[in-house]
Structures are given as C-alpha cells and as structure tokens.
Structure 1
C-alpha cells in the first residue's frame, strides 16, 4: 500500500511539473509575442527610464503617451502619459496570461484584461479618442478635493519617424474592412495583417 501511494505521489508530482512547465512556456510565448507586436508599433521605447520619459513628455499636450519597460521588477511595462498635472506613469500588470492596468485594489476587478499589450493600449486610446475630453479616462472622474487626475491616451510619441508603409497600414486598419478582400498583392496583404491595430 505504501508503494502504491508513493507511485501515486510521483505521478501527481510529474503531472503537476508538466502543467507548471506548460504554463511557464505559455507565459513565455505570450510575453514574447507581446514584445514582438510592441516592436512594430513605433511608440514602444524599450528600456527608457522614467525621468527620460518625463523629459520627452514635458512639453507635450494632454493625452500624449509612450510605452516603455517597467523599472519595477514586478511589472513588465509602463505607460508614460501627459496629464493636466504633468507626466505620469501607469504600470501594466501581467497575471494568468492577461495584461491589464495596475490600479488600486477596489478598481482592479473592474479593469478589462487583454491578450496583448497593444490590444490594451489600443482599447484605451480608442476609448479616449471616442469620449474626448468629456470622458474616456483611465481613472475615475476627479473629485475636486481628491486630487485624482484624469488620464487620457490619444497621441503616441514615436521613438523614430514611422515608415510610410506603417502609417498606411494603421490608416487602412482604422478604415476597417477585410484585408483579404482588398485588390492587393498577397505580399501587401500579409504586411497589413502582420499588424492589425488602429494605433
């Protein structure tokens, strides 16, 4: 009976180890895909430091933003954005295969989760652009006494001037429609579908 229990424990431990390995591989693949997508955006600045991001955003209008690697170990990425009170930083959290904004405990369960960082940014950019100055903030509406600042994301800051091809690709994506139905060579269709975001 003891031998059977030992065999069962070994089998259980092997299965658990295999499951953990699959989860780690899945996370590694998802994060790798997120970084690959981010490198195509032009507004991902990599290992830019917080003070450098602040300098870049200092004279920008409200809603201007960029994305960079987080300097905090528990987070992968940080959005640096210009608000009415000046530049601010908002961390992006990765848990259980999903990306979401870091926030206070009470708000966290209400925040949407995304399969990729670019989807997350795209969501909040579209929300900010749609709602304009009257809404679309990433934080609750500021109460006069609370000191809370509304965060809009409308205009990305590119690390370098994006190529004309990339600008056209984003414009075509914004226009909607099925890429496969466009009268274009397959090579161009592949290029367009390689980055299917609106920002």
Structure 2
C-alpha cells in the first residue's frame, strides 16, 4: 500500500521535450517548474541506465520478472496517473510493484506505516535504487543499508534490490563509466580529466 500524494496541477508531462519524453499514456501533472526539471533529469539518466522499461504495465513487469532470481528489479513508468515511476521487484513471494513517490524536489518510497522514521529522499530515482541495494552489490565495497519492508496483503517482505533487469544492451563506454563511478576514490581526481570525459561521467553519475 502506498500513500497517494496530492498536488496542484500546473504543468502537464506532455510538455516534456523530445530528448526526454515520458510515454504517451502518462498523464501526471507537474506541481512546479522544479519538479518538471527533476523529472526531466531523471528520465535522461534512466534512459541511459539500461534497466528502464518505459510504459510497460505492472502485469507485464510481473511477467518479465516471474522467472528471474529473487532480487531482480526494473524501473518503469507508473500506470497510476498520480505517479511518474514505479519499481518492480522479484521477491521471495513473487513479483511486487512499488510506486515511487515524488514531491516538489525529491523521490522516495512510502515510509513504513508501522514505524516512526521517515523514508529518505533523493533527487534522482537512480540514487533511490542505489540506496536500497546492498553496498557490496552497488559499489563492491561490502556493507548493507537499512532494510526496507514492503507491506502488502498482510505480508511484510524485505526489499532486496540485487540485480537490474536489462532492457537494452549497454555500450562498452557506459560499462566503463559505471565502473569509474563505483570507485569513490576517483572523485577527487576527476578535475584532472579532460572536459569531454568529465562531462560524460557527469551525464550518468551512478554505478548501477
């Protein structure tokens, strides 16, 4: 169960430019110019990720994940017009779908309705996904983030993001970029890189 966000209609998602267009069935209204820019930037990065499946439905996502190992996941457009994106995951109880909440300036999952803590917020869906992956998977450095539980149908299922389901073949350049992004000790050396290389890394600043 996911809490529905409320917002004032100000700008339609149909105004997205051709370089980062949400799919035609998407009717969510932007609440502000800031949210518009937030979603535009996120769509551009998701399109680079290789595990963004666009306008598939929850049923189609479940079918794709049904034969995959537990922990396999993908990001898609939400079929609910009140949300932009959804996270589909193969759990030990089968495929599950989570709406990704979006307020004026961040993305987040619904907070545990039985807990007192608030869910962390991120300025990009990729950062949200990275947060809920075990550190040894996301960065190759070991460690584990706090466990997030999916509450559905009376079940309490731990969210395990272990392996993205590829929607397209990644280029060798993109694979190299992800490898570089996974080494945090490189961050203080990026200023020494040629500008085209720096811009290429900044265009997709995730290791997943």
Does 2:83 match 1:72?
A: no
Mapped partners of 2:55, 2:115: distance in 1: 28
Mapped partners of 1:52, 1:41: distance in 2: 20
Q: How far off its partner does 1:127 sit?
A: 5.0
Mapped partners of 2:172, 2:203: distance in 1: 16
Please point out which of 170, 179, 186 is paired with 2:195: 186
Mapped partners of 1:109, 1:96: distance in 2: 20
Q: Determine if contact 2:101/2:107 at 8 Å carries over to the other structure.
A: yes
Partner of 2:147: 137
Q: How far off its partner does 1:76 sit?
A: 1.0
The structure that has the greater radius of gyration is 1
Mapped partners of 2:86, 2:116: distance in 1: 16
SS in 2 for 1:46: coil
Bigger helix share? 1
Q: Determine if contact 2:70/2:92 at 8 Å carries over to the other structure.
A: yes
Partner of 2:15: none
Please point out which of 48, 52, 56 is paired with 2:60: 52
Partner of 1:197: 206
Q: What is the root-mean-square deviation of aligned Cα atoms in Å?
A: 2.6
Q: How far off its partner does 1:193 sit?
A: 2.2
CA-to-partner distance for each residue in 1:34-77, whole Å, 9 max, x for gaps?
Answer: 11121111111110111111111111111110000001122111
SS in 2 for 1:110: coil
SS in 2 for 1:198: coil
SS in 2 for 1:40: helix
Please point out which of 83, 108, 111 is paired with 2:91: 83
**Within 5 A, what are the aligned runs for 1:117-128?**
117-126=125-134
Mapped partners of 1:72, 1:154: distance in 2: 25
Distance 1:99 1:33, change over 3 A: same
SS in 2 for 1:45: coil
Q: TM-score, normalised by structure 1?
A: 0.76
CA-to-partner distance for each residue in 1:110-141, whole Å, 9 max, x for gaps?
Answer: 21011111111111124584556xx7532179
Q: Determine if contact 2:132/2:159 at 8 Å carries over to the other structure.
A: no
Q: Determine if contact 1:127/1:136 at 8 Å carries over to the other structure.
A: no
Q: How far off its partner does 1:83 sit?
A: 0.4
Q: Determine if contact 1:64/1:155 at 8 Å carries over to the other structure.
A: yes
SS in 2 for 1:67: strand
Give unmatched runs, 5+ long, in structure 1.
1-19
